[in-house]
Amino acid sequence: MNKLLKVTLLLVLVVGFFGAYRYGAAEDEGRAEGQGPIPPSFDTQVISDGASVKHILEGTYINSGLYESTTSAGVYTPIDSATTVQCPGTSGTCTISADMWAANGNANTTDNENELCLYVDGNPAPNCNYWIGLTPTNNYWTGSSNSQSVSNLSTGAHIVQTYFWSKNGAKVSYYKFNYQVFKP
């Protein structure tokens, strides 16, 4: 029986190794034919936005409503009203963060990428120009969302607003934007 156990174990190992080899080979073949997933390429650039520092929430401002208009193709369009937020204190800095969500659709073109961007004092947040979604065709709707922040802002009043961009234009309906002010 000891000999039968050894032969069985050897057979299991051979089948296991062959299966693992074929699985890896099949993945490589799929990638070569453009059918399998290709791991993403990561940029090694380090972007410092103060995320590694403990922050204390000083205030939250909530904007929500119905925009109910169509944005022009390739144009950054303000969706909510400009809101004044306060960075408290007499010294130091603050961080303003925004969690943004907007329903968009009613478009008839394909490849209609879109963006939601936080603007602080009339300037876009760093990394604002990245597509976050596709506005669907055939007059369907989707919800696009994004979260961005701007750090090292001086104390005092700052104006925040969210802008929507669509490659081919899209209608924006309901939106909700939460602006938070943090002190490091």
pLDDT tens-digit series, residues 50-60: 457 788 999 99
Rounded CA-CA distance 159/148 in Å is: 15
Cβ atoms of residues 141 and 105 within 8 Å? yes
**How many angstroms separate the CA atoms of 59 and 69, rounded?**
30
pLDDT band at 166 (very low <50, low <70, confident <90, very high): very high
Q: Where are the domains of the chain?
A: 1-38, 56-183
Residue 42 backbone phi and psi in degrees, to 5: -105, 135
- Report the percent of the chain where pLDDT is more than 70: 72
Average the pLDDT over 5-20 and give the result: 54
Provide mean pLDDT across the span 104-115.
86
Phi (first) and psi of residue 106, to 5 degrees = 60, 35
Enclosing H/E stretch for 100: strand 93-105
CB 70 within 8 A of CB 108: no
Question: Which pLDDT belongs to residue 34?
Answer: 46
At residue 11 the predicted structure's pLDDT band, cuts being 50, 70 and 90, is: low
Q: Higher pLDDT residue, 1 or 33?
A: 1
Per-residue pLDDT tens over the stretch 125-155: 998 888 888 888 877 888 999 999 999 999 9
**pLDDT average, residue stretch 98-116:** 90
Indicate yes or no: pTM above 0.85.
no
**Burial 155-178, CB ≥16 within 10 A → b, else e:** eeebebbbbbbbbbbbbbbebbbe
| Domain 56-183 CATH (choose: 3.20.20.370, 3.40.980.10, 2.60.120.1340, 2.130.10.10) | 2.60.120.1340
How far are the Cα atoms of 4, 15, 17, 103, 156 from residue 68, in angstroms, in the given order? 75, 61, 59, 10, 33
Question: What pLDDT is attached to residue 74?
Answer: 92
Whether 80 has a pLDDT exceeding 50, the answer reads yes
The percentage of residues in the chain with a pLDDT greater than 90, rounded to a whole number, is 55
